[in-house]
Structure 1
């Protein structure tokens, strides 16, 4: 990621009317101050809110092409996300954003296990145009992926190839990558 590239973070909350400074916001602020990585943080509490936030990013933000990473912090299992006790499959999400994520990397925090079959991952990538999907195969209630997420994002400053980025992440943070079961589908 060059200095004109950004992270768009969408965090699921129980009620968007309640304003709280979450750990995610603090970590994104730390990335900005320490490494100059710019981000935008939005919250959503429904599938309509998720769609609206991403559509606003797509159609109203003139810097959309500079957003290399879409960082999703939400609950869920396997190939679905959970918003206010409603589950949505990644296939449904893919269809909402058909052809709109060209070249983007969707990265899920470890608040959601990411476990896709080859077919599910390929379908998502083909339909949305995304470059890759990444996340974790393990959730630990006492261990957030935020430090590994920050390391992952910062590697985009140095490298362009997503495979090289993941290899470097494993070299530098092998134990944490292994513990959280870091995954990349491309």
Structure 2
């Protein structure tokens, strides 16, 4: 399992990124790593990056995060980069529902935002996102309705930087749309709280 910590500075705003890849051993795309390094160097957003290529490695990553990562309480955003649609993410050939993910994180995400990159379309019904928030204790669940040939890292960067400045998710969304309305609209940014 790939485990990289970027930016060792002590800071109270940390991001945990978990990416689904085809094969951990043969990972070739470093676009996301470059992006996370950019966040650390230019915006002082300390982050940890892990990959998984199976349900077992996904569950192991989450278990390690919840039970063994000494910085877990400091992560403000859990950034998930997986294929999928609406209520499911795809890992290998398995479809994992948000309800299943919520049960893994049960009660553990207080004051955290779970954010999906636009590799997964996130358009949820009220009962789905409310269940996720109620079970996990997360402050918000966010992502994009529209996938794009380009990864959403440009807008994600703005979102993470604004999240570093404000704890209020309503204000966060207003600031994001005030500054980047065109990108928010084009990607179909959503934040459920």
The match for 1:177 is: 184
What is the rounded CA distance, in whole Å, between the counterparts of 2:49 and 2:29 in structure 1?
11
What is the rounded CA distance, in whole Å, between the counterparts of 2:86 and 2:40 in structure 1?
31
Tell me, what secondary structure is at the counterpart of 2:131?
helix
Question: Structure with the greater relative contact order (CA < 8 A, sep ≥ 6): 1 or 2?
Answer: 1
The match for 2:79 is: 71
What is the rounded CA distance, in whole Å, between the counterparts of 1:103 and 1:17 in structure 2?
34
The match for 1:144 is: 151
Following superposition, the deviation at residue 157 of structure 1 comes to 2.3
Q: Aligned Cα RMSD in Å?
A: 1.3
1:39-78 equivalences under 5 Å are 39-78=47-86
TM (normalized to structure 2)? 0.91
Check conservation: 2:111, 2:139, Cα contact below 8 A: yes
What is the rounded CA distance, in whole Å, between the counterparts of 1:21 and 1:9 in structure 2?
15
Q: Which runs of 4+ in 1 moved over 6 A?
A: none
TM (normalized to structure 1)? 0.94
Q: How many residue pairs were aligned?
A: 184
Check conservation: 2:99, 2:132, Cα contact below 8 A: yes
Following superposition, the deviation at residue 21 of structure 1 comes to 4.7
Tell me, what secondary structure is at the counterpart of 2:25?
coil
What is the rounded CA distance, in whole Å, between the counterparts of 1:21 and 1:137 in structure 2?
24
Tell me, what secondary structure is at the counterpart of 2:24?
coil
Greater displacement, 175-184 / 95-104 = 95-104
Q: Which of residues 91, 105, 112 is equivalent to 1:97?
A: 105
What is the rounded CA distance, in whole Å, between the counterparts of 1:172 and 1:60 in structure 2?
38
The match for 1:157 is: 164
What is the rounded CA distance, in whole Å, between the counterparts of 1:66 and 1:5 in structure 2?
6
Instruction: Write the deviation string for residues 133-160 of structure 1: whole angstroms up to 9, x where unpaired.
Output: 000000122x321100011001122212
